[in-house]
Structure 1
Amino acid sequence: MADRGVDRRKRVVLLGGGHAHVEVVRRLQGQGARVEIILVSPSRYAPYSGMLPGYIAGRYTFEDFNIDLQALCQRSNTTFHEGMAIGIDPETHRVRLADDTWLDYDVLSLDIGSTPSLPDGVSGGVAVKPIASFTARLDQLDHLAHKSENRLRLAVVGQGIAGIEVAFALRKRLDELISRDGRANGGVELHLVGRGPRLLPERSEHARKLVSEALLDQDIAHHPGFDVVALEGKTLVAADGRRLAVDEVVWTTSSGAPAWLRQTGLALDADGFVRVDAGLRSLSHPEIFAAGDVAALEDPRPKAGVFAVRAGPVLAENIRRTLCGKSLMRYRPQRAWLVLISLANGRTIADKWGLAASGRWITIWKHWTDSRFLRRFVK
């Protein structure tokens, strides 16, 4: 690496190509010769999570919902480095990459997402996260549907927004795939499994009612209170002894923090996420920032892309202010946020302030807002 004593430019290293960091790249491109910006990501392409259900359902292509990080960096005077971080030495201000090289930084920011959090001792199945590599795992489900000679039994574990949207999207995708194959193999038997007693515990009663009606309409069986403790071959086992026969399991359960963060010396919360202050700055190391799923906010919020998108402009400004020695601005995550739940049948549910509605017009509006977000980062 370059000798930082000779290179007088400040170096900002952005780990991860998440929703907050793509906005940072776009906003910091005018720093010029004073600052060197490096974006490190294990993949050249960064998916927009809000459009993933549409991709699964077949509405969007890979190009439609992914940001080309290398192209974005080229347009924004940023260096793109394809690689994965596996460690941070905050005392020497260096990041360790998977190829065993080290990258020096003056300011470091983490937007590396989260990892699947499966029940203790449970392995197997298909995890939705990390989303950047889910498209390859989705091919596994397609292959399973192609080769299945009997009715395909599929369980989606997680009855939050992600699980619900994935279940509806898979219903549409796999039904159409089997129909195109022209095989009368009984189709797909789809189950939505959740630990808690009800769907969408943080959303309105009306939204839960609309989702429940859609599950019945699309023949998706719902199993609340099914706390998965084991996957024995092709059987899901619940803590209360219930058993569910499946051919494959898709995990959309709660997010976990990358394990290597526990070796960094950064202040972390009980789940291993980076604790940050109101300016998105590490509580233990002021030259380090974090946003998106990997950040543990002072006022906690769900691990959802909407908060990373809103954090992007604040993160960019606070990195700029840090380089100039100025005080930071405050990130104020919204207390009430709009949730859009795609039903993959042309309709979408909108829920906010305890009110919910469903319609095709919401799908059209969602497509417009999602596409507008993506257009910020492409030519």
Structure 2
Amino acid sequence: MQKQTHSQDVVLIGGGHGHLELLRRWARQPVRGARLTLVSPQAQSGYSPMVPGMIAGHYAHADIHIDLPRLCRAAGARFVQACAHHIDPQAKRVSLLGQPDLSFDYLSLAVGASPCYRIPGSELAIPIKPIGQFYRYWEQLREQVYRKHQPLKLGIIGGGAGGCELAMALSSALEEPVYSGRVEIHLLQSGKKTPADYPLLARRLAAREMARLNVKHHPHWRVAEITARGVYSDEGQFLALDRALLCTESSAPPWLSQSGLAVDEAGFVQVDDYLRSCSHPHIFAVGDVASAPGDRPKSATESRNQGATLFENLCATLQTQRLQPYRPRRQWQRLLSCGGTHAIAAWGGIAAVGPALWRLKDYLDRRYINQFHQLPVPTSRVTESEFATASAPDQHGEKIPSAVD
């Protein structure tokens, strides 16, 4: 067998939803002559719309996570478990912690966003992301409540859809008789609308569901400081809490602005209509880390849709074809999980709640993630020459782990 050559190296930084969608599509329609490498500090990537269901006990950890090495094998890509910390756009190199640098012809970023620590005392709170880290904390906390039989006050800072879903999921998981009502869940938000981007009827239904689950809602409660005893508002009010959970807007990883890429005031990578960096067209960015033209909401659905366009434009770039602009799709339906087997659905200004809508959300989420679980993975034995090609050093003499390693 002749040794295969790779004319173009594409490096994907981060296992965000956009890159998951790109790899899923690449597995079905790869581009010849291009080599993909995915770099991620975690070997698994959680599907965020199913996280509240995992907290509430509807899903196991494995049900909502995608195995990144397996996905890379299915797509014929290499997987490097490492953390990126610098990009040199001119030299086309990315630096990794504890690993040799990677060179690239094209780069894509879907690293997600980091917890926002702008509130004084935020280091005392528990960030919701990364999901895996928060889930380990949640398991320990639930066990602690079960064993010690002590009252516990939890405060969730952030009144968006994610904060509402998390509050109801936590309350639902802790409403079992064994916990004897010893846990209080507080939802604190700076505004009045919860969730803010939902229509009025949906917000009223969410308020009703939170009341049913004994979630204590605090609107117009802007947190000014987090302490070991609780939180202070900007008006001087104090709320005693045992632990605060951060579900506020995320921030961009600081190393991005230090890499010479054009970023907005918050440090997110500015991209054009084709999802390319405004300053370096050979670099793409999608998901939370991207700052796209216009006021576009950041969500898992938006990241997935961007991933589809990213795939098309990356393939077009590799084949010197015309790129297509990304057009946000209008969400005709939005689903909000309500802790137990209830969900709220919103269509424009219309909304409804009930178990049938939760079953619909469950079906849609499972159907999407099963597309990754069911991707065929090559099982044929790797010949010595193929292994040498996959494991060969790159042009700078660095041996990079491959998908077959």
SS at match of 1:28: helix
Q: Is the 8 A contact 1:125 1:249 kept in 2?
A: yes
Partner of 2:21: 23
Q: TM-score, normalization: structure 1? A: 0.93
Identity of aligned residues (%): 37
SS at match of 2:174: helix
Counterparts of 1:110-149 in structure 2, within 5 Å, are 110-122=109-121, 123-149=123-149
Q: Deviations over 1:125-156 (max 9, x none)?
A: 21111224322222342244235443211111
Counterparts of 1:172-211 in structure 2, within 5 Å, are 172-176=172-176, 179=177, 182=178, 184=180, 186-211=181-206
**Alignment pair present for 1:269 and 2:264:** yes
Structure 2 residue identity aligned to 1:151? P
Q: Is the 8 A contact 2:18 2:307 kept in 1?
A: yes
Partner of 2:156: 156
CA distance in 1, matches of 2:335, 2:101: 41
CA distance in 1, matches of 2:170, 2:56: 6
Distance 1:183 1:51, change over 3 A: closer
SS at match of 1:52: helix
Q: Deviations over 1:301-320 (max 9, x none)?
A: 22211101111111001011
Alignment match of 1:279 (pick from 270, 274, 277): 274
Q: TM-score, normalization: structure 2? A: 0.87
Partner of 1:259: 254
Partner of 1:36: 35
Aligned-pair CA distance for 1:193: 0.5
Aligned-pair CA distance for 1:376: 1.3
Structure 1 residue identity aligned to 2:158? G
SS at match of 2:30: helix
Q: Is the 8 A contact 2:119 2:226 kept in 1?
A: no
Q: Structure 1, unaligned stretches of length 5 or more?
A: 1-5
**Alignment pair present for 1:316 and 2:315:** no
Partner of 1:3: none
SS at match of 2:211: helix
Structure 2 residue identity aligned to 1:13? V
SS at match of 1:267: coil
Counterparts of 1:1-379 in structure 2, within 5 Å, are 8-29=6-27, 30-31=29-30, 34-99=33-98, 101-122=100-121, 123-176=123-176, 179=177, 182=178, 184=180, 186-379=181-374
Aligned-pair CA distance for 1:355: 1.4
Q: Is the 8 A contact 1:114 1:130 kept in 2?
A: no
Q: Deviations over 1:273-305 (max 9, x none)?
A: 111111111100010001111111112322211
Structure 2 residue identity aligned to 1:169? A
Q: Structure 2, unaligned stretches of length 5 or more?
A: 375-405
Q: Is the 8 A contact 2:154 2:185 kept in 1?
A: yes
Q: Is the 8 A contact 1:13 1:37 kept in 2?
A: yes
SS at match of 1:376: helix
